[in-house]
Structure 1
Amino acid sequence: MTPQPEFKCAIVVSDELPTGLAVNAASVLSLTMGHRVEGLVGVDVKDADGVIHPGVIHTPLPILTAPREQVGTIVQTSAAQDEMFFVSFSSLAQGCKTYEEYIDRMAATSTADLASVGVGLYGPRKQVNKLVGSLPLLR
């Protein structure tokens, strides 16, 4: 999916997470989005001294909060929308110490048993706004 001006990004984390875990969830989700949404990260830029700086995301990326149940609802609603890219981050994933542990635990867990503690969204502005437009920023 290539970024389009009429598209929007947002990350929503559970308001039940302590600050450190909320920031961890948002970081993991933003890394995945940057990797999976082609062109979301802009080109490298050069400063006045000629030093090149790696590109950063070129669209706003609000980090919002919602009750855990609402995070799960956002995940389910996003899954049903064709143009929406979403990535869910579960409490299972957040509790793993290694990626191998994550792979093993996911293989033994059904989708219905995954509790989402965060979700990253990239999709049509109107659809994203409908899902997250009234949510507060993480503070």
Structure 2
Amino acid sequence: MTEQAESIRLERCVIVLDEQLPAGRAANAAAVLALTAGQRHPGLVGLPLTDASGQAHPGLIPIGIAVLSATEEELGAIHRQANASEGVDVVDFPVQGQMTTNYGEFMAVVAQIPAGELRYLGLALVGQKKAIAKLVAKKKLFG
């Protein structure tokens, strides 16, 4: 976890996906982003749940996760603005992530693309409610 990620107040978590993604690819992108956001911010996981029979269930995120949609251009703009914002951690999923099942190949391809030229399937934004609200204002739920 980065120093910046450690210092962020965990008030909101939002995933923004490319509105053109078909359902299966959107589900994959959201799962990848959520898993990485959870690893970077263990505080996103709530306390275990216990049912009436006394059986324990893993804790879930107590602040919820909105899954929103944006155009490819909007994703790029949100990414740039989020990286420049205080109180927001960004997990990004470049389009190359769904072009191969080999993580080494994925890393090699991304390593050849300048940051400003990367295109994204989705972003996870974690942090302060007000800062994230500014970034995703007027975005609709995915689907």
TM-score normalised over the length of structure 2: 0.88
Deviations 1:75-95 (A, max 9, x none): 000000121111111101121
- Matched AA of 2:130: K
Deviations 1:22-69 (A, max 9, x none): 111111111111111131011222212121111111112110001110
Question: In structure 1, what is the equivalent of residue 90 of structure 2?
Answer: 86
Question: In structure 1, what is the equivalent of residue 133 of structure 2?
Answer: 129
Q: In 2, are the aligned partners of 1:3 and 1:39 still within 8 Å (CA)?
A: no
Residue 4 of structure 1 and its aligned partner are, at CA, apart by: 4.4
Q: In 1, are the aligned partners of 2:16 and 2:70 still within 8 Å (CA)?
A: yes
Secondary structure at the residue paired with 1:136?
coil
Query: Distance in 2 between the 1:67 and 1:80 partners?
Result: 20
Matched, 1:28 2:37: no
Question: In structure 2, what is the equivalent of residue 111 of structure 1?
Answer: 115
Matched, 1:55 2:49: no
Q: In 1, are the aligned partners of 2:95 and 2:119 still within 8 Å (CA)?
A: yes
Q: In 2, are the aligned partners of 1:13 and 1:119 still within 8 Å (CA)?
A: yes
Gaps of 5+ in 1: none
Q: In 1, are the aligned partners of 2:86 and 2:131 still within 8 Å (CA)?
A: no
Question: In structure 2, what is the equivalent of residue 42 of structure 1?
Answer: 46
- Matched AA of 1:126: K
Give aligned-pair identity as a percent. Answer: 35
Secondary structure at the residue paired with 1:102?
helix
The CA RMSD over aligned residues, in Å, is 1.7
Gaps of 5+ in 2: 1-5
Q: Count matched residues.
A: 138
TM-score normalised over the length of structure 1: 0.90
Question: In structure 1, what is the equivalent of residue 77 of structure 2?
Answer: 73
